Structure 1
């Protein structure tokens, strides 16, 4: 029996994020057990960037609930991620968990290929901002295989199911979870499938999911993107993930090599400005 983990980035009990995850689960045909995490129930401290999770390879050293969450993610056969829109972005619980993702890199081989779907919920049609990007970012950076992600609309708890269209979306996500990844949509990044872009000068664009740069042309009034891999990739292949992990670990020796020079630069700013403390 499959073990599916629903990651809910909403503090609302029985809110739209929670019931959407459960509706997706109801439509999965394979026998499975649904386990649920409400991120606001857990103490997730900000990452301090100490790199000890990589250097010691014993999980995060911070005394909070992250390692418990990491264990659940590692144990799951698949993930369903849901987040509400707060001020044009995914609820901050999801970003705080994403920021702790360095501690998952020692488990890259186990995480790679773990199927996942994501859904964002916004109260006003068209006002989801970068919510979808935040969900895609989370799924990609925990090294899961994003099968499909989308946005639905509904403000009041339960409002998302006042129409059947959102129930159909739940069925689509349920069907996609254990199926081969669909072909990338025409108006998406050809490398990662991202759908959010920054427009630069001279028809140059940057994918905001994988951060690679390329160009855009119109073909039959449809945007077509030609985006090339950069020299340092984060999640496009397992091999590149492992290389990025090696690069991260190498930061310790690099720091020690330049320690005195870096300390001199930093100390020049020590007494500048006045700190406000709680």
Structure 2
């Protein structure tokens, strides 16, 4: 199977703007995007290229209402992982041909495309939900001690309920998806690898302690003779 990663990267380099349309696959990110993420890790940690500040808008279609899962966040951060500037993310509960031709969907799509022309930001977030103030993710850990943490970008802060309203504040100290953040990620992985090399004999000795055990659960089967007469 030919490697088309360079083809993908060259198309982004040539583009003035980027549109990502990726459907939800059982609550999650479309697999091709994850594959590109994994491939890019091997070349981006020490790369100065990225696609800094190249504008990107995202559409995430899904079939079953309330089954969008974490696809919105994963797709947004896929774009940020490439260095793209995400200025609008639209989640639509429509996947069949012609589904988006209703008035509401067309209005939102026109706003999204106009933002590309105007180089502006468009917000489709649900006003009843809480989002990370740094990366716009809705995947937040709400802690019992009055603090919160964004599991996508790492931002932390405090939350409180006042007069029936939910309030959040806080910010991120390290931008995970900046060039600096990705380099830091790569350096940490390199340190882990070097630590393993230093301790490989001790690790091998630990493996010997459980190598003799067989933890696989196996079905007990009995041979049967079939009577074909």
Per residue, is there more strand in 1 or in 2? Answer: 1
Answer yes or no: is the 8 Å Cα contact 1:233–1:244 preserved in 2.
no
Structure 2, unaligned runs of 5 or more: 219-229
Matched, 1:261 2:193: no
Matched, 1:209 2:152: yes
Answer yes or no: is the 8 Å Cα contact 2:27–2:67 preserved in 1.
yes
Matched, 1:111 2:54: no
| 1:246 CA drift (Å) | 3.7
2:176 equivalent in structure 1: 234
Greater Rg, structure 1 or structure 2? Answer: 2
Structure-2-length-normalised TM-score = 0.74
Q: Deviations over 1:130-176 (max 9, x none)?
A: 22112112112222211111201214222122x12112222222233
Distance 1:248 1:83 in 2: 29
| 1:249 CA drift (Å) | 4.2
2:114 equivalent in structure 1: 175
Distance 2:26 2:16 in 1: 32
Q: Deviations over 1:30-71 (max 9, x none)?
A: xxxxxxxxxxxxx6xxxxxxxxxxxxxxxxxxx733333233
What pairs up with 1:93-172 in 2 under 5 angstroms?
Answer: 93-105=32-44, 106-161=46-101, 163-172=102-111
When structure 1 is superposed on structure 2, of 104-113 and 75-84 the one drifting more is 104-113
Give the direction of change, closer, same or farther, for the CA distance of 1:193–1:123 in structure 2 (3 Å limit): same
| 1:268 CA drift (Å) | 4.5
Distance 2:216 2:62 in 1: 39
Q: Deviations over 1:64-115 (max 9, x none)?
A: 3333323333443332111112222233222222232303514443322222
Answer yes or no: is the 8 Å Cα contact 2:154–2:172 preserved in 1.
no
Answer yes or no: is the 8 Å Cα contact 1:153–1:160 preserved in 2.
no
1:88 equivalent in structure 2: 27
Structure 1, unaligned runs of 5 or more: 1-42, 44-62
Distance 1:135 1:119 in 2: 9
Aligned length: 212
Give the direction of change, closer, same or farther, for the CA distance of 1:97–1:153 in structure 2 (3 Å limit): same
Answer yes or no: is the 8 Å Cα contact 1:108–1:241 preserved in 2.
no
Answer yes or no: is the 8 Å Cα contact 1:203–1:215 preserved in 2.
yes
Distance 2:36 2:22 in 1: 12
Answer yes or no: is the 8 Å Cα contact 2:132–2:155 preserved in 1.
no
Distance 1:70 1:150 in 2: 24
1:197 equivalent in structure 2: 140
Distance 2:217 2:6 in 1: 32
